[in-house]
Amino acid sequence: MRDLVEIGMGRTARRAYELDDIEIVPSRRTRSSKDVSTAWQLDAYRFEIPLVAHPTDAIVSPRTAVAIGELGGLGVINAEGLWARHSNVDDVLDRLVDAAERASETSDVTKVLQELHSAPIQADLVAQSIKEIRDSGVTVAARVSPQRAGELTPDLVAAGVEILVVQGTIVSAEHVARDGEPLNLKKFIEDLDIPVVAGGVHDYRTAMHLMRTGAAGVIVGYGYSSGVTSTDSVLGIGVPMATAIVDAAAARRDYLDETGGRYVHVLADGGIETSGDIAKTIACGADAVMLGAPLAAASEAPGGGLYWTAAAAHPSLPRSRVVPAAESEVDLRKLLFGPSTDTDGMHNLFGALRRAMAKTGYSDLKEFQKVGLTIRG
């Protein structure tokens, strides 16, 4: 039964939980971390760790997409970001870093980012970035917004994108626009020969609707990061991540039964700051995590120590700040796999996931989704 709380007369709300509100329960068995697999597979593509990089220019350039892919994850480049609009992105990013150092207010940096994103998207620049990633041999993924998916996707597919991510703050099965044709996600996916990951969703019903469109994966959340995103303040929208993930996992289970075996992957995007959060995200039912702010600490990250999400550049309603990401940089391999001297779960992110799985006796991610959970307080 749903845990409903009365707000006032005739109005109730469901109680929901963040990742910080839950803990993983050890089982009667432990095992060696050497016997644990963190691999997962999306459609025909196998990845050694359940990592999908949040598609922001702060952390994903063509070079870092390659580095993430070579380390077993999936880097997703933003096909509407700076690499799609400017040929001299290094200079552009230097300008942004300089603006951040000089700015007296967050809005000053936001104005610069909005200006940089006012330049038109150039198909040849997007194709050049995709070619650089593809030539390395890693899986190529690109993100588009629902508003521009129909316009940009043909060029992305022609350039060699292998996984398409249709991502916004909220994504539904049909995006309606007065000034253009609505995006019917089901027909859109049917017409493509590559897997599509779509989101964000925040509840069971929307997750089920997206699964029925034929999406290979559903993103839960919109990249929420404390102190960075402001969607809750600007739009009043947000669902605590632990509850949102569990609800989407329930939709996946029911859809699996409905279709007689079609499995749709759940990717969690938001509220994930430490290795413990990654473990709890998988324990709630996610197949993989979309990491944003934690990866901005990597020395390879193009943001130069800054972090923001794509929503920071919205021309009229920005919903992300440009903030310092970390006090010190660390190389990407150490960030993901250690060794680490950090005691707060900020480094060796996936080595810690393996250890959590081993300590609770589980050998793979799907089994670990069944681990027991408790609620604090």
Mean of pLDDT over the chain: 92
Tell me the per-residue pLDDT of 176-215, one tens digit each, with 9 for 90 and over: 555 556 678 999 999 999 999 999 899 999 999 999 999 9
pLDDT in tens, 117-151: 999 999 999 999 999 999 999 999 999 999 899 99
Residue 73 tokens read as: 């994850």
How many Cβ atoms are within 10 Å of 367's Cβ, its own excluded? 14
CB 216 within 8 A of CB 197: yes
Distance of CA 190 to the CA centre of its chain: 23
Q: Can you give the pLDDT at residue 182?
A: 67
Across 190-252, where does the E strand assignment appear? Answer: 196-201, 217-224
The CATH class that applies to domain 4-375 reads alpha beta
Q: Is residue 97 predicted with pLDDT exceeding 80?
A: yes
pLDDT per position as a tens digit, 295-307? 999 999 999 889 9
End-to-end CA distance of the chain: 20
What does the block give as tokens for 173? 């099965």
CA 314/CA 320 separation, integer angstroms: 9
Structure tokens that stand for 363 in this block: 């050998």
Taking the CB of residue 92, how many other CB atoms lie within 10 A of it? 19
**Strands laid side by side in the 265-270 sheet:** 51-53, 288-291, 265-270, 217-224, 196-201, 163-167, 141-144, 76-78
pLDDT in tens, 308-337: 998 888 888 888 888 887 666 899 999 999
φ/ψ (deg, to 5) at 222: -130, 25
Predicted TM-score (pTM) of the model is 0.94
